[in-house]
Amino acid sequence: MVEKASFENVMKVLLASRKQEMHQLWTTCSHLVAKSGLPPEILAKHLPIDIVTNIEDLRRSSLMLLNHHHHHHHHHDLSTAADLEDHKIRRMRRALESSDVELVKLMIMGEGLNLDEALALHYAVENCSREVVKDLLELGAADVNYRAGPAGKTPLHVAAEMVSPDMVAVLLDHHADPSVRTVDGITPLETLRTLTSDFLFKGAVPGLTHIEPNKLRLCLELVQSAALVLSREECNANPTSTTAIYPSMSEDPSRSGNNNIGNDNSRSRLMYLNLGATHASGSGDSGDDDNSHNTRHRSQGGGCDPTMYQDY
């Protein structure tokens, strides 16, 4: 069980096992701390110096064995490095799943963990709570607009596909850009518009049964508003430009120089209003929290492209 505990708790158990002379537990915890990769100066802030010395001795012994192995099996160097990196990412994911963002922070400082390369934010959006995503963003070590996987999706694309207002809101609060496009040229707003259109005109088809109308409407509203703010800022920065990236849904098509944009806005406004009517005429209120929604979403196969995450 101690292997699944947060790093802070492992250190507490380490101290307690030493005091109670529980040798097996002491050994287990010592090796867990040694494998953490945290430098001695950080460990010294949490543990007595003699314990830190003992942990450094364990690391030196492990390093000698590793060097001996490399001396005789040099051709395995690359695979060993990859295995170590995979192990680091698995530990990061376990830390996120247990809401232990402090351990992730220590891994960044002590092990050089790269949150973007590890797809930490994408993983947290799809698998963790809003609070974990917020804490992860506030570490300041992850690019909120990082495009991951062959499809080039940002965390906001993932949150939009999940139809999770909480995740959409926390990402936008931390400057997620709704105009970033995937490899196929799709923005998060276009993802939500497609989902809205499919929900209204196709009904309960495979892959859409998890959608809750009120959450879809709120996600659409949040991303639409953010896109409009971005569009206005770009227009102010470039007054010669007359075409907004995301024109307002309330814009009068007759005043636009581009009829296609005007027609698209009319369709968006109609879908948005119809979505509210669909929800109002439905039976019962959809009050499930986003955690249960995320579970259903993953079972449906939505969210991140399965190829986005490697098999760690």
User: Picking from 121-125, 193-197, 199-203, which range would have the lowest pLDDT averaged per residue?
Assistant: 199-203
Check residue 6 and report its DSSP letter.
-
Q: What is the pLDDT of residue 311?
A: 52
DSSP letters, the chain, are -GGGS-HHHHHHHHHHHHHTT-HHHHHHHHHHHHHT---HHHHTTTS-HHHHHHHHHHHHHHHHHHHHHHHH-GGGHHHHHHHHHHHHHHHHHHHHHTT-HHHHHHHHHHH---TTTTTHHHHHHHHS-HHHHHHHHTTT-S-TT--BTTTTB-HHHHHHHHT-HHHHHHHHHTT--TT---TTS--HHHHHHHHHHHHHHH-S-TTTTT--HHHHHHHHHHHHHHHHHHHHHHHHH-TT--S-SS--TTS-GGGSS-HHHHHHHHHHHHHHHHHHHHHHHSSS-----HHHHHHHHHHHT-SS-GGGS---
- Which residue has better confidence, 141 or 290? 141
- Which residue has better confidence, 124 or 238? 124
- Which residue has better confidence, 186 or 51? 186
- Which residue has better confidence, 200 or 162? 162
User: pTM of the entire structure?
Assistant: 0.59
Q: What is the pLDDT of residue 28?
A: 82
User: Picking from 4-8, 154-158, 211-215, 244-248, which range would have the lowest pLDDT averaged per residue?
Assistant: 244-248
Reply yes or no on whether the pLDDT at 150 is more than 80. yes
Reply yes or no on whether the pLDDT at 240 is more than 70. no
Instruction: Encode pLDDT of 38-97 as tens digits.
Output: 777 777 777 777 787 777 877 777 665 555 444 445 445 545 556 677 888 899 999 999
Instruction: Give the residue among 148, 241, 247, 233 at the shortest CA–CA distance from 189.
Output: 247
Q: For residue 289, what are its two tokens?
A: 């929290």
Reply yes or no on whether the pLDDT at 191 is more than 80. yes
Instruction: Encode pLDDT of 273-298 as tens digits.
Output: 555 555 554 444 444 444 444 544 44
What is the Cα–Cα distance from 283 to 272, expressed in whole angstroms? 19
Reply yes or no on whether the pLDDT at 213 is more than 80. yes
